[in-house]
Amino acid sequence: MRVLTIDDSRTILAMLHHTLTKAGFEVLQAEDGQQGLDVLKSEDVDVVITDINMPIMDGIEFIRNVRATGHHQSLPILILTTETSQEKRDQGRAAGGTGWIVKPFDPEKLISVIHRVVH
């Protein structure tokens, strides 16, 4: 299974990479929404995990863009967020986010959330 991880924080990317590869996923990385879109143009992935606050293109806009392109309408997108407030999460969902993961994430929780949204 291939996961695209998008976050402008290298720490978070590294942690996701570690956790996901350990669980047997193949991990692709991007540092902002635009890079994420570029990856999706050429790569097939099973699920996307994206941060919200990023430079160049934030996670909300990324999700909107993904949903706007026809063949990614069923691609599960998980929002990574530290926001415990509902606001960001709702924005992400309104844009088409499938679910969310609250940072800091527990590795097991992360994997189980992925399995909740991927066949």
Partner 1 sequence: MSDLDDFKATYFDECSELLNELEEQFQAIEEGERGADRLNAVFRAIHSIKGGAGAFGFTGLVGFAHAFETLLDYVRDGRIELVDEVVALCIRANDIVADFVAAARSGETLPSDYGAEEKARFDALCRGESPDGDENGEPMEEFDIEFTPVMVKLPFAEDEAALTLDAEADAFEEAPLAGTDGHWEIRFIPHTDLYARANDPLLLFRELAALGEIDVKALVADLPALADFEPFGVYCTWEISLSSPTVTEAQIREVFEFVDGDCDIEIAQLAAMPAREAAAPAAAAAPDESTPAADEPAVSFADLAAEITPVAPPKPVAPSLVAKAPSSEGAAEEGDQRKNGVQSIRVDLDKVDRVVNMVGELVITQSMLTQQMDENLRVRYQELVRGLEVLAQTTRGLQDSVMAIRAQPVKSVFSRMPRLMRELAQKTGKKIRLEMIGENTEIDKTIIEQLSDPLTHMIRNSADHGIESPEKRIAAGKPETGVIRLSAEQAGGNILIIVEDDGQGINRERVLQVARDRGVVGPDQQLTEEQVDQLIFAPGFSTAEAISDISGRGVGMDVVLSNIKKIGGSVHVRSVPGKGTRMTLRLPLTLAVLDVMLVKVAASPYVIPLSSIVETIQCSRANFSRVPSGAQVLQVRGEYVQVVDLALRFDTPTQVESDSRFVVLCEAEGGVKVALIVDDIIGQQQVVIKSLEENFERIDGIAGGTILGDGNVALIVDVQGLKSSISHQNAA
Contacts to partner 1 by CB under 8 A: 1-2, 8-12, 14-15, 17-19, 21-31, 35, 38-39, 43, 53-55, 67, 73-77, 82, 84-85, 93, 96-100, 103-109, 111-112, 114-119
For the bound state, the minimum distance from the C-beta of residue 12 to partner 1, rounded and expressed in Å, comes to 6
For the bound state, the minimum distance from the C-beta of residue 28 to partner 1, rounded and expressed in Å, comes to 6
Q: Is residue 103 exposed (0-12), middle (13-18) or buried (19+ Cβ within 10 Å)?
A: middle
Strand partners, 41: none
For the bound state, the minimum distance from the C-beta of residue 62 to partner 1, rounded and expressed in Å, comes to 14
Alpha helices in the chain (DSSP H): 10-22, 33-42, 59-68, 86-95, 107-117
CB nearer to partner 1: give 31 or 65: 31
**DSSP3 helix / strand / coil % (the chain, rounded to 5):** 50, 20, 30
